[in-house]
Amino acid sequence: MKARPERWRAVVTYLQVAPLVTVFGAFLVFPIVLITVVSFWDYTEYAIVPDFIWRNYAEVLASAVTYRTYLSTLKFAALTWAITLVLGFTVAYFLAFHVRTLKWQMTLFLICTIPFWTSNIIRMISWIPFLGRNGIINSALMSTGLVHQPLEFLLFSEFSTVLAYVHLYTLFMVVPIFNSMMRIDQSLIEAAGDCCATAWQTICTVVMPLSKPGIAIGSIFVVTLVMGDFVTIRLMSGGQSASVALMISNQLAYLQYPAAAANAVVLLIVVLLIVAAMMKIVDVRKEL
C-alpha cells in the first residue's frame, strides 16, 4: 500500500463511497428534485400535465384545512415528544446508573430494543384487545364498577394515537440518551454526591446537561417520525384525526400528484426547519 501513489488511494476512497452516494442520489435527492418540479405541474382528473403554475402552492397555503392539519400534527408531535422524553430519560437513567453490571445493562437494553425490529402495524393492531369496546381495560373498569358504560375514547381516538406513538417511538429516545449517559464519567456522579448533592440535584446539574446530545438526537427522531406519519394516525385514530402526511397520501389515492407534491414540499421545509432548530443545540457528528 505504501508503494502505491496517493492518487490511487484517493480513487479507492471515492469508489468505496460511490455506491452510497449513488443510492442517495437516485432514490433520495433526485426524487425530491422531481417532487419539487412536479409541484409546479398542472393536473386534470385523468393526467398530470407539465407546466409552471403556482396554483398548487396557492391552494395549499390558502386552505384553512392545511393550517388546521398542521396544528393537529404539531400537537401530536409535541405530546409524543414530551411523553417519550420523560419515559425514555427515566428508562435510560435506570439502565445507565442503577443497573450495576454491564452484562445486565446490555440484557435489559436488548429487551427494550427487540420490539423495534418487529412490525409496527402488528404492534398497532395489538392494542385492539386492550382498548376496544369490549377490551381488557373496559371489562376491568366495568367489573370494578368504576364505569357503567364502556369508555369509547380508548380506541380509535387521539388518545390511542398518542399511545401508539409512544409505544412505537420511545425506543428512539432511550437509545441515544442511554448512549450519552454511558459516556458520563462515574467520578462526576460521585463528586456530586460528595458535595452533598441529592440524587435529584445530581440529575439536574450533572446528568441532564451531559445527556443533552442524546436528548437532541432522540427528539429529532421522534418529532420527524410523528411529523411524517400517516399510517399510525389512520389506523389508530379511526379516521377521526388528520396529519399532513395523511393528507398527502389521500391526494395520492386520487392521483392528484402535483397537489400532493406541493404539500410534500411544504412538509419537507417545515420538518427541516424544526430539525435545523434542534441541530443548533448539538453537533450530531461528534456523538458517534
Partner 1 sequence: MRDGPRPTSFYALAAVFGLFVAFLYGPLLAIVLLSFQGPDGGLTFPMVGWSTHWFAALFEQQRVGDFKGSFLRSLGLGLTVMTLTVTISLAAGLAFRKRFVGSAIVFYLAVASLIVPSILVSLGVGLLFRVLDWETAWWTSGVGAHLTWTLPFGLLIMFAVFNRFSKSYEEAAHDMGANSWQTLRHVVVPIIAPSLVGVALFGFTLSYDEFARSLLTVGTHNTLPLEIYGMTTNITSPALYALGTVTTVFSFLVILGALAAVTIVQRRRERRAPAPAGQRG
Enumerate residues 125-164 that contact partner 1 by CB under 8 A.
Answer: 125-130, 132, 134-136, 139
- Rounded-to-integer distance, Cα 177 and Cα 179, Å: 5
Q: Which of residues 263-282 bind partner 1 (CB under 8 A)?
A: 264, 267-268, 271-272, 275
| Residue number, 2 or 280, with CB nearest to partner 1 | 2
CB 240 within 8 A of CB 161: no
Tell whether residue 245 is a contact of partner 1 (CB under 8 A): yes
The C-alpha R_g of the chain, in whole angstroms, comes to: 24
Strands 48-49 and 42-43: antiparallel
Interface pick for partner 1 out of 94, 104, 153, 254 (rule CB under 8 A): 94
Q: Which range of residues in 61-69, 122-130, 141-149, 205-213 is near partner 1 by CB under 8 A?
A: 122-130
Q: How many residues bind partner 1 (CB under 8 A)?
A: 88
- Rounded-to-integer distance, Cα 73 and Cα 278, Å: 18
CB 38 within 8 A of CB 49: no
What one-character-per-residue DSSP string does 155-196 give?
A: SSSHHHHHHHHHHHHHHHHHHHHHHHHHTS-HHHHHHHHHTT
Tell whether residue 250 is a contact of partner 1 (CB under 8 A): no
Tell whether residue 87 is a contact of partner 1 (CB under 8 A): yes
Least distance from partner 1 to the Cβ atom of residue 164, Å:
10
Interface pick for partner 1 out of 161, 257, 266, 282 (rule CB under 8 A): 257
Q: Which of residues 3-62 bind partner 1 (CB under 8 A)?
A: 9-10, 12-14, 16-17, 19-21, 23-24, 26-32, 34-35, 38
Least distance from partner 1 to the Cβ atom of residue 28, Å:
5
The cell for 264 is 410534500
What one-character-per-residue DSSP string does 11-77 give?
A: HHHHHHHHHHHHHHIIIIIHHHHHHHHHTT-EE-SS-EE----SHHHHHHHH-HHHHHHHHHHHHHH
| Residue number, 75 or 228, with CB nearest to partner 1 | 228
Interface pick for partner 1 out of 74, 79, 85, 108 (rule CB under 8 A): 108
Report the largest interatomic distance among the alpha carbons of the chain, rounded to a whole angstrom.
Answer: 84
Tell whether residue 98 is a contact of partner 1 (CB under 8 A): yes
Tell whether residue 107 is a contact of partner 1 (CB under 8 A): no
